[in-house]
Amino acid sequence: MSWYPIVWEELIYLRNKFWLHLVMYTLSPLIFLFAFGFGVGQRLQLMMPGGISYLDFLAPGMVALALFNNGVNSVIIRMFYTRLFYNSFEAYQLAPMNSFFLWLGYTLSGTLRSLLAAAVVLGVMFLAVPGLVLTRAFGLAVVMAAFCFGSLGVCVGLWLRSFDDHALANEFILVPMTFLSGTLIPVERLPGFLQQCVWLFPLTPVTELLRSTMTERGWDVTLAALTAGWFVLFFFIGWLTIKRLGN
Amino acid sequence: MAVKRPVEERTGTFAPEYLPAVIELRNVVKHYGKIKAVDGVSLLVGQGEIFGLLGPNGAGKTTMIRMLITLTRPTAGELYVAGYSVAGRPVEVKRRIGVVPQQNNLERELTGRQNLLLHALLHKIPGPERTRRIEELLAYVGLQARADEQIQRYSGGMARRLLIARAMLHRPPILFMDEPTIGLDPQTRRKIWDLIQLMNREGVTVLLTTHYIEEAESLCHRVGIVDYGRLIALGTPAELKASLGEVCAEFLGSGGTSRRFFPTRAGAKEYAQNRDDDVTVRRTNLEDVFVELTGREARELSSG
């Protein structure tokens, strides 16, 4: 339980600004719903693979986006400021705990934010797309994704050294993944060369896994393995980076 | 290993004796690229001492502390704290040390009490004991009335007192303080000094860095003067001053302020009478020791 104080601190922040977070988590899916779902979505209907409605396509994409943006960003921001500006990250480094638990604590903080945001988005999506069916497989996929993105947040958060790095992470990692990972537009409808490239993004298998678990396709082992693979990679990078801090 | 315990200068309550070393540096070197921040330092600090590392900004004091508290790895050499190798048993070291950093590293959006609670959780202090110790320490540092305010509303002095409370919460036998009174007003500085002396009387070994001469002189049993990453002098303030001469004759010469040192006031006065210009005769202080040893004026201590 050495990781618990890090999550406890995150819970205090969430409690202190509960309503702000709730509005924040609700606003983003609403904007996407109005802009894409009810806006250009009607015209995108023709592009949908398998002839499903755009809203049905969008729902898992929105959940994936919520998991990704909140999981990764919350950890990046917390690590960025506590490491480089407030130095409070040192208080954790000075605690008598193994570096693995330090990694785990931050990853779980991101996971927590990720899951909360996903829950809010699902609530909104249920109102907009009443026919949505949730399965256990979907729940498992959500948890896997949240953990994966929490650990990605730790990797990026440890890598940042300046505001420029933060901007670079946004421009080169977060924004391309947001729009190109099959969340808003089907991967099959991207330009040819991009269709292969986007599989290098961890968000792509997550989005597709969520989508498959929301339909009769169910649990896709390959997509789940890809998601787990990304998580293992992020774990090793994050953990080794924490271990090497101070060199 | 043991360290010769200095005579307690302020109270004269005990004579020199040998105490076990609780902090040890053996030929420690730290490079940052081509810069040598610490250059072959060896040092022993005895149990129950208040030991001060005195030197200008950039001398390597903070790097030494960061290596001892496990946050920075040395390029070469060995460090031991409470008998444990810093490189080999960092978790054991962390259990036995408290750290007051130079910069306020409290969580700004948490209250004072929540910051202490977070630290207690990190050190796995059990529930009822946790609450008791937090209240005790809040009273100790005089922050009970402001304990439920967020840190961003604290003054510099309040934050520093809370940092001390946090460092003491898990009852470490060794306390590292990096510039504990930097940027504080004289009143708050005195309060912090009182706290440090109080903790030391309760058996805590304190290693602090400072660039305030007065702080080193009035607070520390022994002082190590650090310059360009090297430990250039080591001893009690009295020993260091005596190495120059107890009395200083200071005058403004053609090349700026000059100083001559004498073992007695009579010798200094005789020297002053034989000079045409104004000569001030006073007791030698650590500032004189620093200037003589480094060839740098003491103002560089604070300007870096």
B147: CB partners within 8 A, 6+ apart: B111, B112, B113, B138
**B123·A4 Cβ contact <8 A:** no
pLDDT at A46: 61
pLDDT at B218: 87
DSSP, res B152: G
Chain A residue closest in CA terms to B103: A87
pLDDT at B303: 44
Query: Is the pLDDT score of B3 beyond 80?
Result: no
Task: State the Cα–Cα distance between residues B123 and B96, nearest whole angstrom.
Answer: 11
pLDDT at B97: 97
Task: State the Cα–Cα distance between residues A164 and A220, nearest whole angstrom.
Answer: 38
* Same-domain check for residues B150 and B273: no
pLDDT at B8: 46
- Selecting from B72, B109, B124 the residue whose C-beta is nearest the C-beta of A16 gives B109
Structure tokens at B77: 């050499």
- Selecting from A88, A98, A246 the residue whose C-beta is nearest the C-beta of B91 gives A98
* Same-domain check for residues B183 and B74: yes
**B70·A246 Cβ contact <8 A:** yes
* Same-domain check for residues B155 and B183: no
Q: How far is A4 from chain B (nearest CA, A)?
A: 8
* Same-domain check for residues B188 and B290: no
Q: Which of B32, B79, B93, B105 to mutate to test the interface with A (most CBs of A within 10 A)?
A: B105
Name the domain boundary from B211, B236, B261. Answer: B236
Query: Number of folded domains in chain B?
Result: 3
Q: How far is A246 from chain B (nearest CA, A)?
A: 4
Query: Is the pLDDT score of B17 beyond 70?
Result: no
Tell me if chain A has a CB within 8 Å of the CB of B31.
no
* Same-domain check for residues B229 and B120: no
Mean pLDDT for chain B? 87
* Same-domain check for residues B27 and B83: yes
3-state per-residue secondary structure call for B30-75: EEECCEEEEEEEEEEEECCCEEEEECCCCCCHHHHHHHHCCCCCCC
Q: How far is A81 from chain B (nearest CA, A)?
A: 11
pLDDT at A170: 87
Residues from chain B contacting residue A90 (CB–CB below 8 Å): 71, 101, 105
Burial of residue A171 (CB within 10 Å: 0-12, 13-18, 19+) is exposed
Tell me if chain A has a CB within 8 Å of the CB of B75.
no
Task: State the Cα–Cα distance between residues B53 and B60, nearest whole angstrom.
Answer: 10
B155: CB partners within 8 A, 6+ apart: none
**A90·B70 Cβ contact <8 A:** no
- Residue range B145-161, pLDDT digits in tens: 999 999 999 998 899 99
Name the domain boundary from B142, B166, B190. Answer: B166
Q: What type of residue sits at position B180?
A: P
* Same-domain check for residues B151 and B9: no
Domain that holds residue B138: 112-166
What residue spans define the domains of chain A?
A: 4-244
* Same-domain check for residues B19 and B79: yes
Residue B281 included in any domain: yes
Tell me if chain A has a CB within 8 Å of the CB of B172.
no
Say if residues B92 and B174 touch (Cβ distance below 8 Å). no
* Same-domain check for residues B148 and B182: no
Residue B101 included in any domain: no
- CATH of residue B221's domain is 3.40.50.300
* Same-domain check for residues B195 and B59: yes
Residue B29 included in any domain: yes
- Residue range B68-91, pLDDT digits in tens: 999 999 999 999 999 999 999 999
Mean pLDDT, each 10-residue run in order, chain A (247 residues): 92 92 86 79 68 83 92 91 90 92 95 94 85 88 96 93 89 89 87 88 95 87 95 94 81
Residues from chain B contacting residue A95 (CB–CB below 8 Å): 94, 122-123
Tell me if chain A has a CB within 8 Å of the CB of B110.
yes
Q: How far is A187 from chain B (nearest CA, A)?
A: 42
**B122·A95 Cβ contact <8 A:** yes
Say if residues A79 and A157 touch (Cβ distance below 8 Å). yes
For helices A221-244 and A203-214, what crossing angle results, to 10°?
A: 140
Tell me if chain A has a CB within 8 Å of the CB of B91.
yes
pLDDT at B16: 40
Banded model confidence at residue B14, pLDDT cuts 50, 70, 90? very low
Residue B151 included in any domain: yes
* Same-domain check for residues B87 and B29: yes
* Same-domain check for residues B76 and B125: no
Structure ipTM: 0.87
- Residue range B209-263, pLDDT digits in tens: 988 888 888 899 999 999 999 999 999 999 999 999 989 998 887 778 888 888 8
pLDDT at B300: 53
